[in-house]
Amino acid sequence: MESWLRTLVLVACLLPALVDGRTRHYKFNVVSKNMTRLCSTKPIVTVNGKFPGPTLYVREGDNVIVKVVNHVKYNVTVHWHGVRQLRTGWYDGPAYITQCPIQPGQNFVYKFTITGQRGTLFWHAHILWLRVTIHGAIVILPKLHVPYPFPTPDKEVVVVLGEWWKSDTELVINQAMSAGLPPNVSDAHTINGHPGPMSACASPQDGFKLQVESGKTYMLRIINAALNDELFFKVAGHNLTVVEVDAVYTKPFTTDTVLITPGQTTNVLLYADKSAGRYLVTVSPFMDSPIPVDNLTATATVHYTNTLSTTALTTITPPPQNATPVASNFIDSLRSLNSKEFPANVPLKIDHSLLFTIGVGVNPCPTCVNGSRVLADMNNVTFVMPTTAILQAHYYNISGVFTDDFPANPEIVFNYTGSGPNNMQTMNGTRVYRLPYNSTVQLVLQGTGIIAPESHPIHLHGYNFFAVGRGLGNFDPKTSPSKFNLVDPVERNTIGVPAAGWTAIRFRADNPGVWFMHCHLEVHTTWGLKMAFLVENGKGPNESLIPPPKDLPAC
Ligand code: C2O
């Protein structure tokens, strides 16, 4: 076929699905599937038999309807990570927070509208550790005929980063929890499901290959869907221009290394400015604390057309695992676009000024290996999952499920980033923090040094927030705010709080419901580094949570 004809046919086949811009239907069959990686085959839990799962393609303003049918032995829920779910909190997905899980043999239809967002997000299971393999991209195109605020790339490519475990991850975490010890780390990182050509027992042609044409621009929609590892992303011989994070445009900036935490998404432009060749892509962990991490590098290739597959690969060295300056440099370069069309509406007057410590603790556990258990907390509260969803309990006024006394500040003040208090014990509770509709919040997330300081990617459901400040050591209410950026701070839904440091975020509570906030390192979520905001209804139906859907699963 003539190439112009082929292009025409291709365009004709691709476009109808996205032209009319109304309601997009998807069906997710949750099924077990045998996959071969790292020389062995094992069954994994997937959506539609794929790892990563299917990409949702939508436009800003679309309604999305996804029917999830559970064919596996586990309870399942799906979270649309970063989708704001304005007034539709019932469809947000975290198990026991907004819904009871979909039990084996059951189904649930998620229905929501994409409002005021465009870029890349992702979906993932939000129960147990199932998100390790139940995840996939959400591509939100701008409204029809609305251009990007940067030159239109010639092609767009989804790049999902993940982790591969040889063992069954449910067994890994269950055994760790009953022993009271940290779980193992993964056996490989993955790029679009593959550890890549450099991994043991893979052939040099293995793994994800990005085919490029000299002179063209490619937009990579990078997603960190890994369970526990913050990751560096690099391409040999090429710089990357960051244009969007967490479905919000940024001021473009050019870098040779992208840092992306679990829960974050980053769109970058890659300009294919070489004439030919094969270039290595590396994905490697960032961990600047003495904590074990999967230190294997996943690889992929950028392959110029008219280049033989036997051509020598141009390689690159990934940053060292503890490259704090590389990480900080990347984070400090991020700014909101803050243009006329896309303003940064940073709340300037604050109604609720909060400080939450985040970190780990140690509680007695007679049946555990050391007689104690490692766990995690916010403001010393280890969140206990209820057995009824909090949103239902709130809506129907069911008492005894949660309390709304989550502390606004630490109840015991200590040198948070120092050696810690003598007593590292935490208290248990299902406590939420109540916010009136439309109130403004400043939240300082203060890392602690208890046992070891560590970077925590904190994710807030139902909102984007502005990351107005960041520092090492303890937040100082007198001096730290003077350095806040209230003009063009990056707007996102997941933020890395530096090891032995703090991050300040601001948001306006304009979305009623119950909104989970937790560390997106799955091990820390399991250990209790989580809480929820309960945002009250405002006036009238437009400021209120919609009534619950009839098919909402029962607990
Ligand atoms: Cu992507 Cu509550 O998580």
List the residue whose alpha carbon is closest to atom 3 of ligand 1.
81
Q: How far is the CA of 136 from the centre of ligand 1 (A)?
A: 13
Residue with tokens 């209820």: 386
Would 493 be classed as within a structural domain?
yes
Q: How far is the CA of 152 from the centre of ligand 1 (A)?
A: 30
Q: How far is the CA of 138 from the centre of ligand 1 (A)?
A: 14
Q: What is the pLDDT of residue 14?
A: 47
Would 554 be classed as within a structural domain?
no
Give CA–CA dist 330/290, Å, rounded: 22
Total domains in the chain come to: 3
Cis peptide upstream of residue 52 (ω within 30 degrees of 0): yes
Averaged pLDDT of the chain? 95
Q: How far is the CA of 310 from the centre of ligand 1 (A)?
A: 41
Would 122 be classed as within a structural domain?
yes
Establish whether residue 461 lines the binding site of ligand 1, counting it when its CB lies within 6 angstroms of any ligand atom: yes
Same domain, 111 and 163: no
Give CA–CA dist 258/133, Å, rounded: 23
Domain boundary among 87, 106, 141: 141
Using DSSP's 3-state secondary structure scheme, residue 482 falls into: helix
Q: What is the pLDDT of residue 415?
A: 94
CA-angle at 229, arms to 467 and 373, nearest 5°: 100
Provide the pLDDT confidence category of residue 250 given band limits of 50, 70 and 90: very high
Same domain, 17 and 112: yes
Same domain, 131 and 178: no
Give CA–CA dist 461/253, Å, rounded: 27
Same domain, 529 and 398: yes
Q: What is the pLDDT of residue 349?
A: 98
Query: Can you list the pairs that 436-439 forms with residues at least 24 positions away whose Cβ atoms lie under 8 Å?
Result: 436/351, 436/509, 436/535, 436/536, 437/509, 437/510, 437/512, 437/535, 437/536, 437/537, 437/538, 437/539, 437/543, 438/508, 438/509, 438/510, 438/538, 438/543, 439/351, 439/352, 439/508, 439/509
Same domain, 301 and 381: no
- Which atom belonging to ligand 1 lies closest to the Cα atom of 494? 1
* Residue among 145, 150, 323, 165 nearest 234 (CA): 323
Provide the pLDDT confidence category of residue 11 given band limits of 50, 70 and 90: very low
Q: How far is the CA of 459 from the centre of ligand 1 (A)?
A: 6
Q: How far is the CA of 264 from the centre of ligand 1 (A)?
A: 10
Q: How far is the CA of 306 from the centre of ligand 1 (A)?
A: 42
Q: How far is the CA of 383 from the centre of ligand 1 (A)?
A: 15
Q: CATH number of the domain at 522, please.
A: 2.60.40.420
Same domain, 131 and 177: no
Give CA–CA dist 383/392, Å, rounded: 18
Establish whether residue 131 lines the binding site of ligand 1, counting it when its CB lies within 6 angstroms of any ligand atom: no
Same domain, 163 and 247: yes
Same domain, 121 and 165: no
Same domain, 161 and 38: no
Would 342 be classed as within a structural domain?
no
> Which of residues 424 and 513 earns the better pLDDT score?
513
Provide the pLDDT confidence category of residue 41 given band limits of 50, 70 and 90: very high
Establish whether residue 516 lines the binding site of ligand 1, counting it when its CB lies within 6 angstroms of any ligand atom: yes
Establish whether residue 135 lines the binding site of ligand 1, counting it when its CB lies within 6 angstroms of any ligand atom: no
- Which atom belonging to ligand 1 lies closest to the Cα atom of 124? 1
Establish whether residue 189 lines the binding site of ligand 1, counting it when its CB lies within 6 angstroms of any ligand atom: no
* Residue among 442, 441, 443 nearest 510 (CA): 441
Would 480 be classed as within a structural domain?
yes
Domain boundary among 107, 141, 175: 141
Q: What is the pLDDT of residue 485?
A: 98
Q: Which tens digits make up the pLDDT trace of 280-333?
A: 999 999 999 999 999 999 999 999 999 999 999 999 999 999 999 999 999 999
Find the domain containing 179 and state its range.
155-333
Q: Which tens digits make up the pLDDT trace of 183-211?
A: 999 999 999 999 998 887 777 777 999 99
* Residue among 487, 529, 537, 485 nearest 509 (CA): 537
- Which atom belonging to ligand 1 lies closest to the Cα atom of 93? 2
Would 204 be classed as within a structural domain?
yes
Predicted confidence (pLDDT) at residue 3 exceeds the cutoff of 70:
no
Interval 502-527 mean pLDDT: 98
Q: Which tens digits make up the pLDDT trace of 432-480?
A: 999 999 999 999 999 999 988 999 999 999 999 999 999 999 999 999 9
- Which atom belonging to ligand 1 lies closest to the Cα atom of 82? 1
Same domain, 82 and 190: no
- Which atom belonging to ligand 1 lies closest to the Cα atom of 131? 1
Same domain, 266 and 371: no
Establish whether residue 79 lines the binding site of ligand 1, counting it when its CB lies within 6 angstroms of any ligand atom: yes
Provide the pLDDT confidence category of residue 19 given band limits of 50, 70 and 90: low
CA dihedral 224, 227, 232, 233 (to 10 degrees): -40
Would 549 be classed as within a structural domain?
no
Same domain, 398 and 475: yes
Q: Residue 156's beta-bridge partner residues?
A: 219
Q: How far is the CA of 109 from the centre of ligand 1 (A)?
A: 19
Residue with tokens 């769109």: 267
How does DSSP classify residue 480?
G
Would 467 be classed as within a structural domain?
yes
Establish whether residue 81 lines the binding site of ligand 1, counting it when its CB lies within 6 angstroms of any ligand atom: yes
Domain boundary among 96, 113, 141: 141
Establish whether residue 263 lines the binding site of ligand 1, counting it when its CB lies within 6 angstroms of any ligand atom: yes
Which backbone phi and psi does 337 adopt, to 5 degrees? -60, -45
> How distant is the alpha carbon of residue 547 from its chain centre?
28
Establish whether residue 94 lines the binding site of ligand 1, counting it when its CB lies within 6 angstroms of any ligand atom: yes
Predicted confidence (pLDDT) at residue 10 exceeds the cutoff of 70:
no
Establish whether residue 84 lines the binding site of ligand 1, counting it when its CB lies within 6 angstroms of any ligand atom: no
Establish whether residue 82 lines the binding site of ligand 1, counting it when its CB lies within 6 angstroms of any ligand atom: no
- Which atom belonging to ligand 1 lies closest to the Cα atom of 122? 1
